[in-house]
Every structure is written in C-alpha cells, then in structure tokens.
C-alpha cells in the first residue's frame, strides 16, 4: 500500500503512466482540500490517481476523477469518491501553469499523492504529450537497461 521514501514522505499513490505518456517539464507540490473521512481513507492507502486530470478554473486549480475510496467507519460523513478537489498552490504558480497550459500540447498531470509531516500533498507536473515514436523509444531504453542489469547480475554471480 503506502511506502516510506528516503525523504520521510509516505507515498500513497503513484501515476507511473504519466511518465510514459508525457515529458514532465516541471514539478510542483500542492496541498489538497479534503474532508476528515477522506484523509482517514488516504492514510489507509485507499486512493487512486490513474484516471485523474487537473483543470484551472477561475484562478483556482482542481483535480477531477481522483478516486478516494469511502472510509468504512465514516457512514453519513463520507463524500462522493470522485468529487472535484481543490489544490492549494501559490497564485504565482497558478498563473504560470495557466499561461503554460494555454500553449498547444501542454497539460497538468498528477504524479503522486503522499503524506508529508501529517499533511496530504500531491506532486503535479507540467507535461508535454509524447508522440508514439517517443513512447517506442522509451520502451527500447527500458529494455536495454533491463538487459544490461541482467548481464551485470549474471557476471557478478560467477
């Protein structure tokens, strides 16, 4: 479920597909506006950002389609699992993201959700979409690295 990273942050959800589909040009750390039962559910690792996307509306940043499984003991206090959640960023960061996404081919993608000093944080990235040949190139590089790692391991066994 959740993993402890070297920096002391506890990783809750990771979006590996974003690194495959996009070139991540800049990363930002954003806070999330959540209700109590949502925080409890996230602490249990019940969160998914695979199909989530980020929009800027009226100078505010929102994440849509982020699935937070309802907390079992929350009953009437549980919120809709797919509701839009507001991201907390500085106004200068929001303005920069808005101007960058106005350009053709740029978007904002969620990269990971983690706990930092007890607070739920999200890493978002300013991303440019990859073409199919870029994706094939990254697959070839991964295969090449995997083969090199395997050869290195075999050589060190003997």
DSSP codes of every residue in 69-111? PPPTT-GGGPPPTT--EEEE--HHHHHHHHHHHTSTTEEEEEE
Higher-scoring residue by pLDDT: 107, 157: 107
Is-contact 71 41, C-beta < 8 A? yes
Side-chain-facing half-sphere of 57: CA atoms under 13 Å? 10
- Asked if residue 107 has pLDDT above 70, the reply is yes
pLDDT digits (tens, 9 = 90+) for 110-147: 999 898 888 889 999 988 887 777 778 888 888 888 88
Give the mean pLDDT of 52-64: 89
pLDDT digits (tens, 9 = 90+) for 13-56: 888 888 888 888 889 999 988 888 888 888 888 888 888 889 99
Question: Domain 3-130 is in which class?
Answer: mainly beta
- Domain borders along the chain are 3-130
Would you say the C-alpha torsion 141, 144, 150, 154 has a positive or negative sign? negative
Q: CA-CA-CA-CA torsion for 117, 112, 147, 21, nearest 10 degrees?
A: -160
């Amino acid at each position: 479920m959740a993993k402890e990273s070297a920096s002391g942050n506890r990783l809750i959800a990771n979006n590996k597909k974003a690194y495959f589909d996009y070139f991540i040009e800049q990363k930002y750390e954003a806070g999330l506006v959540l209700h109590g039962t949502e925080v409890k559910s996230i602490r249990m690792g019940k969160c998914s950002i695979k199909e989530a996307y980020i929009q800027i509306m009226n100078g505010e940043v929102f994440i849509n389609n982020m699935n937070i499984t309802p907390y079992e003991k929350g009953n009437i206090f549980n919120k809709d699992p797919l509701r839009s959640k507001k991201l907390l960023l500085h106004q200068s960061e929001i303005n920069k993201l808005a101007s960058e996404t106005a350009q053709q081919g740029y978007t904002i993608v969620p990269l990971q959700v983690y706990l930092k000093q007890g607070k739920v944080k999200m890493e978002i990235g300013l991303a440019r979409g990859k073409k199919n040949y870029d994706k094939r190139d990254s697959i070839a590089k991964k295969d090449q690295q995997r083969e090199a790692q395997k050869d290195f391991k075999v050589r060190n066994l003997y």
